[in-house]
Every structure is written in structure tokens, then in C-alpha cells.
Structure 1
């Protein structure tokens, strides 16, 4: 089984709804909604501290770390964090975690130094890390989580209208509109290729027909365009062989001509 890649799934989602709501707060509430986006590079979390928050508001923060998925996360994923001066922290993620939605790290987690998940590519392609530095930020995240979730579900539902993103029964509905029925056992990708050919107008040129045929067939033995169309005029050859068809038996009074036609008038 191949390892899922971030490029194969959804585009990068917007930032947390909690961040949007915090931007609308008045100055007296700004301290409680302060947050610090962390920088992830590869499997490392860039060094950070909370000195600016302490200097600005005169109080040390009590951070709550929020892990936001940039893409739909495969089931069974566990994210492991390096923590300065302490043991690594493993966080099993709930199955079905979609792009844009998030989960909190345990309260009281120390300074983060690294992140690993076993997913291909740099971890910055998969995750955003944000430290919420006050009580108001925690409340806004709790309220905004549902908004993040619904926003992603709405995007997934709307995408099913597109032939490029539809799956399963939704892809079958696209095919019904084109009058193309899925063959028994045909995968989504193979069916999508046929539907793509069926819905577009193809110029009757060698290049156009070759592209249409290769799109419908797909790669064969690793060759992306396995079919070649040759429309060079060639000599037409044919052969003729006269055949005589005769019945096995003729009843009294019946007749048959040389072409095998019963009841022919032979006079």
C-alpha cells in the first residue's frame, strides 16, 4: 500500500475560525485571545518563546496547543511531538479528521521541539500548530471548531458536483447525466476517465483521437500513452469465395435455386 501524500488531497484550508473571531475582539479582550502560530519545517518546530506576550500584557501565558490538519488525514494516524526537557508526546488522532479541523494537545504541554506523523513529505505540508495563550482563545476555539468542521463538509459536498472530485455514488450520478453507465467492478478512476472522454468534444484529427483513446484506456505497463493511431492510407485488399448453400432434404414438390432460396420458380 502506498503512503498517502498531501498533494493528493484537498487544497490548503483557511486558518482557524478562532483566529477570525479573535480579530474582531476589542482591546480589553485582546490579551485573552492572543495566539502564537508556530513554524514547522520538516519534522522540527522552530524555536519560540512567549516573551512578547509577557512584555505586552504583563502576565505569563498558559498555552494550549492546537493541531490543525491542512488535508484530510488517513485513519489511524498518530502524531508524535518532541517536548523540551521531557518525554515525547504521542497524540492518536480521531478517524475522519478532515482538512481545516483541529484537535488540542493535552493541557500543560511544554515547549514543542519536533513533530512526526509517518505521513509522506515535510510535516508543514500536513499540519498547522498554534499556541492559544489565554482563556478567551480557548473559548473561541471551542466555539469555532464546529464552524471549521462544517466549512470543510460544505466544501466536500460541493466538490461532488465536479467530475474531477466526485466519488462513488456521486460519480455514478455524473455518469447518469451523460448516459454512461459504470461497468461491473470498474473503479472510480477508470470510470472517471471514460466520463471525461464522453463529456468533451474531440476534434476528429489523429492527435485528438489518439489523446481521447489514451485518456480512456489509461497507462498500460507503466506507459502513459500506450496507443498510437496510424491513419495512413493503405491498399485495400479483399477476397471473394462463392458459396453454395443447399438444404439437406427437399420434400416432394419443393424447389431451390443456386442461391439456396426455397420455393423459387425454376421455369
Structure 2
């Protein structure tokens, strides 16, 4: 216990000594002359050069899974689109699927969630616009550092006065150092904390989408994995022999991971996701 108190005290004194020797240590930087990168942002940008269509669209009134999406008869190299109801100007972002050419109805068919967000009535066609989206990465440069004030000729440079922030930081470090010494005294005889149990190998799962369109299921799978959500496609067979592709996310080891994944999946537009085994 004495050795633990001595080590904590030595560390605290070393920390205080370092702070005293380096009053300007709060400045950080990459070491280069340039301003550097402040942050990197991802933005959804319309790409009509990839795909754009203005045509009549319809929600047939049936319940649908998969959140907000639109189905077209074209073969399109896009997973994400902006869907616009030209009648009222409402616009949303959603998934893009391919529908069978020989099915009756207008060129565009939307999901139940998309129709609700766009203000569409069941069975009533409206003029719509669909345009492909792409995620672009934009680097936001950091502002250049402020130039130091010029020193008149013949006058020695004055030491910079300690700012209130630096004084507060020094006080916080000193408080932390003293707290480390006191904590070493208090915890020297305390038993070690119990080990946390390992998370189970299997956990909860969420069904995100289901349908007979394999390309659409593959697109949903890629989007989930792009958002770092574990997922897989499970294949089943309907009564008439049609293959059904179910996109299932998970497993999630605990309730917190499950809730976080469900919130993220709904942010991606799949509001109908529900729990499965």
C-alpha cells in the first residue's frame, strides 16, 4: 500500500512539474504549415446523369415492409434516390427497387411509408420525380492560425500572459494530481472489481426487408453493411414456389446494441423493421 501511494505521488508531482515547465503546451497541430482538415462530411447529392425519371406513381393501398422506397421497371445502378411528389412538392429519400415490367399499374410504385410521407392517397396516381443519389465526401479545411502580433524593433518579446483558460487548466491538473494521491490511499486495500460476464454468442435479430426481388434485397444488404450493421439474406419459398429473400440484421449481443441498431436502421428509411429469431 505504501508503494502504491508513493507511485501515485510521484506521478502527480511529475505531472505538476511538466505543467510548470510547459506553459504553452495547450497548443496542438499537425506540425505542417498548412491549416489542415477540420472535419470530413458526407453529403447526399442528386445525380440525374445516373438516373432520373418523371412519371405517374401510385401506392396501391397494400401494407409493405422495408420503409420508404420506390419501384421502377428500369435496370438502374443506384440504391438510393430522392422521391418527389410533384403535385404538392413534398420530397423524401428512399430505397430503389426494380419491379416486374408486366405488372399492371403506372411506371412508379411506392411503399406505404413513402406514400404517407409524400401525402399520397391509396389508389390515386400522381406525377412524381425520381432521381439517383450519391454520397460525396467533402473535406472542410480548418481556419488558418492567427498571425502573431509584431514586436517593435529594439524591444524584447514579452512573455504571453496566462489566459483564464490556461489558469483553469492548471488548476484542474493540480486538483487531479491531488485527487490521484487521495484515491491511491483510499483504493489501496479495496478488492478488485468483479469481472464482467461475456456477451452471449447469439442475440436478437431484426428483419429489415422481405420480397421476391433479389436485386432489391442485395441493395438493402449492401446499405446495412455500409452503415456497419451486421446483416444477411435468408432465402425461403412461398406456397406457389416463388423465392422470398429476407434481409435480416444481427445478431446483437444485448439490448443496448439492439436498440442502437434499430434506431440506425430506421434512420436509413426502414421504419418497418421488426424483431425475429
TM-score range, shorter chain: under 0.3
With structure 1 as the length reference, what TM-score do the two structures score?
Answer: 0.19
With structure 2 as the length reference, what TM-score do the two structures score?
Answer: 0.19
Larger Rg: 1
Which is bigger in relative contact order (C-alpha 8 A, separation at least 6)? 2
Richer in strand (by share): 2
